[in-house]
Amino acid sequence: MAHDVHTHVKSQTEYEYKRRRSANEMRGQLTTFAIMIFLTLIAFTAVYAGFSPNLVVPIILLLAVIQVILQLYYFMHMSHKGHETASMFLYSGVIVGLITVLTFVTIVWW
Amino acid sequence: MDLNTKYTPQSWPDHPENSTLEGKNKFVGFWLFLGGETVTFASLFATYLALKNKGPSGMEFTTQGLFELPLVFIMTMLLLTSSLTSVYAMYHMKNYNFKAMQAWLMVTVLLGAAFLGFEIYEFSHYVHLGFTFNQSAFSSAFFILVGTHGAHVLVGLGWIILLMVRNAKRGLNLYNAPKFYLASLYWHFIDVVWVFIFTVVYLMGVMG
Percentage of residues in chain B having pLDDT higher than 90: 94
On whether residue B107 sits in a domain, the answer given is yes
Residues with Cβ < 8 Å from B180, sequence gap 6 or more? Answer: B89, B90, B93, B101, B105, B163, B167, B172
Q: Supply the CATH number for residue B195's domain.
A: 1.20.120.80
On whether residue B57 sits in a domain, the answer given is no
pLDDT tens track for A26-38: 999 999 999 999 9
Judge: B5–A7 Cβ closer than 8 Å, yes or no.
yes
Beta carbons of A79 and B199 less than 8 angstroms apart: no
On whether residue B92 sits in a domain, the answer given is yes
- Closest residue in A to B69 (Cα) is A44
Q: Which pLDDT value is given to residue B91?
A: 97
Is it the case that residue B85 has pLDDT exceeding 80? yes
Residues with Cβ < 8 Å from B167, sequence gap 6 or more? Answer: B176, B180
Biggest distance spanned by C-alpha atoms of chain B: 69
Closest approach of B203 to chain A, Cα-based (Å): 7
Instruction: Give the nearest partner residue to A89 out of B18, B32, B88, using CB atoms.
Output: B32
On whether residue B189 sits in a domain, the answer given is yes
Per the structure, the complete domain to which residue A57 belongs is given by 12-80
Judge: A53–B208 Cβ closer than 8 Å, yes or no.
yes
pLDDT tens track for A62-91: 999 999 999 999 999 999 999 999 999 999
Which pLDDT band, with edges at 50, 70 and 90, does A5 fall under?
Answer: confident
User: With 0-12 CB in 10 A as exposed, 13-18 as middle and 19+ as buried, what is B101?
Assistant: buried
Closest approach of B177 to chain A, Cα-based (Å): 14
Judge: A71–B83 Cβ closer than 8 Å, yes or no.
yes
Judge: B207–A76 Cβ closer than 8 Å, yes or no.
no
Is it the case that residue B2 has pLDDT exceeding 70? no
- Closest residue in A to B186 (Cα) is A76
Is it the case that residue A1 has pLDDT exceeding 70? no
Q: How many domains does the structure of chain A reveal? A: 1
Q: Which residues of chain B does A21 touch, with a Cβ-Cβ cutoff of 8 Å?
A: none
On whether residue A105 sits in a domain, the answer given is no
Q: ipTM greater than 0.95, yes or no?
A: no
Which pLDDT band, with edges at 50, 70 and 90, does B6 fall under?
Answer: confident
On whether residue B81 sits in a domain, the answer given is yes
On whether residue B28 sits in a domain, the answer given is yes
Judge: A76–B189 Cβ closer than 8 Å, yes or no.
yes
On whether residue B58 sits in a domain, the answer given is no
Beta carbons of B7 and B173 less than 8 angstroms apart: yes
Beta carbons of B44 and B145 less than 8 angstroms apart: yes
Percentage of residues in chain A having pLDDT higher than 70: 95
Judge: B73–A44 Cβ closer than 8 Å, yes or no.
yes
Chain B interface, mutation test: which of A26, A32, A75, A80, most B Cβ atoms within 10 Å?
Answer: A75
Q: How many domains does the structure of chain B reveal? A: 1
Per the structure, the complete domain to which residue B94 belongs is given by 16-52+68-207
On whether residue B63 sits in a domain, the answer given is no
Beta carbons of B83 and B188 less than 8 angstroms apart: yes
On whether residue A60 sits in a domain, the answer given is yes
